[in-house]
Amino acid sequence: MSVLAIRGLEAAVGDTQILHGIDLTVSSGEVQVVMGPNGAGKSTLSAVLMGKPGYRVLAGTVTLDGQDLLALPAWQRAQAGLHLVAQYPSEVPGVSLGHVMVEALTARGQSVDGLDELLGDEAARIGFRPELLHRSLNVDLSGGEKKRNETLQLAVLRPRIAVLDELDSGLDIDALRACARRVEDLTNEPGPHGEHLGALVITHYNRLLEALRPDRIHILVKGRIVASGGPELADQLERDGYAAFS
């Protein structure tokens, strides 16, 4: 079983401290959800976990199966088994999805035999049009197509732990359901190491959680986790809003 352990994480952007001591644990097969209003620090958390430039860690630790992720550049964190589904996926002109997957799998020491068939199967599973597999990565794709593309990459790479930064942003109900269900299935399917995916899901709204069932929900306000609970916490948010936790 893999474990992402975040302990006492404090981080800043420039001279402004955003995170004020985050403690979270995500294990294989779990869906841990972080919800919060705009400006709470949710995207900062995902950026710090993946090592995005421009963010300073002030205190705390982040480990994956005991390995210190904060000491690694972003590409080594990915090779260690941490994966980010980005809120705003990058466009890469001239490079197809297939090329990206070949390079990523090869860097991980995994076989690329049968990759074309796997890409086609995963595309069909989430309603991603097959002709888009050969287009430059995310170029001229709609918001929903980009998120389907991100979900497809996740399913092919099968990391140990995935961070989903607002997967539901810009999705219509069909795309949301397809992507969320695929992630849910991945938490119940053994990957290349025999482990189920663990997911740290960052979102504003509980509509994502209708298809992606959480084990635990955490409320992030002003860089601090102010409440944690089961799925019923999302219902309380829907009823009372974030003001009840401010």
Written as one string, the DSSP assignment of 5-53 is: EEEEEEEEETTEEEEEEEEEEEETT-EEEEE--TTSSHHHHHHHHHT-T
- Give the CA count within 13 Å in the CB-facing half-sphere of 91: 9
Q: How far apart are CA 126 and CA 181, in angstroms?
A: 9
Q: Residue 238 above 90 pLDDT? A: no
Q: Residue 209 above 90 pLDDT? A: no
Q: Residue 134 above 90 pLDDT? A: no
Six token digits for residue 23: 């403690």
Question: Does the pTM exceed 0.85?
Answer: yes
Task: Please report which confidence band the pLDDT of residue 182 belongs to, taking 50, 70 and 90 as the band edges.
Answer: very high
Q: How far is CA 160 from CA 53, 191, 192, 194, 198, in A?
A: 23, 8, 9, 10, 6
Instruction: State residue 208's pLDDT score.
Output: 83
User: With b meaning 16 or more CB within 10 Å and e meaning fewer, what string describes 125-154?
Assistant: ebebeeebbeebbbeebeebbbbbbbbbbb
Nearest 5°: the CA angle 14, 17, 21 is: 140
